[in-house]
Amino acid sequence: MTPILAAIAIGYLLGSIPFGLLLTRLAGLGDVRKIGSGSIGATNVLRTGNKAVAALTLILDVAKGVAAALIGARWGVDPMLAASAAVVLGHMFPVWLGFRGGKGIATALGVLLAIAWPVALVAGLVWLAMAIMFRYSSLASLVATAVAAACAGFVVDTERALLVAAIAVLIIARHHENIRRLIAGTESRISFTKS
């Protein structure tokens, strides 16, 4: 049980590092929580107009998902799955920010890259296609998340598939405000031209 608890602790602490907030402050862009959706994720960082900082946020949020899963894997499958769940929860509910974090998409992608890379590839391609077609990051994320959960059921073992499904439920729940805005037609679009 000790390796599982250690994996959970490490995963949560990694996940709770708010790269989006730290990077925007270091870049002199202010508090990212006060713009757009108020999220600390890469999509909201992009709304500052700084694509480089948004890209770095995305890379680091993905990296912490990969790192947590790989660290947990050193102790076995169960610790790997525990660390994978914990890193996503840490990103969504970081203790340092009053448990108000990001939506978990990039970190979940990192987890998928480590535990089920074919699923990550499919989800990433679906996200990209949806984002290009409709220019709604939230819609792309929701569709990619649903596809990942469905795909995992056919591609990986039951334990991993259940983890992917659980993460998908959390991500969809975290997007409740976005879903309401999508229905109302007031959701912000991704800008591919803003400098």
Q: What is the pLDDT of residues 120-130, one digit of tens each?
A: 999 999 999 99
pTM of the model: 0.93
The reply to whether 191 falls in a domain is no
Q: Using the predicted structure, report yes or no on whether residue 105 has a pLDDT greater than 90.
A: yes
Whether 195 has a pLDDT exceeding 70, the answer reads no
193 located within any domain: no
Classify residue 178: in a domain, yes or no: yes
Structure confidence at residue 48 as a pLDDT band (50, 70, 90): confident
Q: Could you report how far apart the first and last alpha carbons of the chain are, in Å? A: 50
Angstrom distance (rounded) from CA 150 to CA 119: 9
Domain-embedded: residue 72: yes
Which pLDDT does position 1 carry in this prediction? 66
Domain count, the chain: 1
- Kindly state whether residue 192 falls inside one of the protein's structural domains: no
148 within domain boundaries: yes
Domain residues for the domain of 97 are 2-184
Distances in Å between the Cα of 159 and the Cα atoms of 93, 146, 183 are: 23, 17, 34
Q: What's the Cα-to-Cα distance from 172 to each of 21, 27, 68, 165, 177, rounded to whole Å? A: 22, 30, 22, 11, 10
Q: Is the pLDDT of residue 194 over 90?
A: no
Tell me which residue has tokens 């840490």.
90
Q: Is the pLDDT of residue 17 over 80?
A: yes
For residue 26, tell me if it sits in a domain: yes
Q: What is the mean pLDDT of residues 148-172?
A: 97
55 assigned to some structural domain: yes
- Spatial distance between the Cα atoms of 169 and 162, rounded to a whole number of angstroms: 11
Averaged pLDDT, 84-90: 98
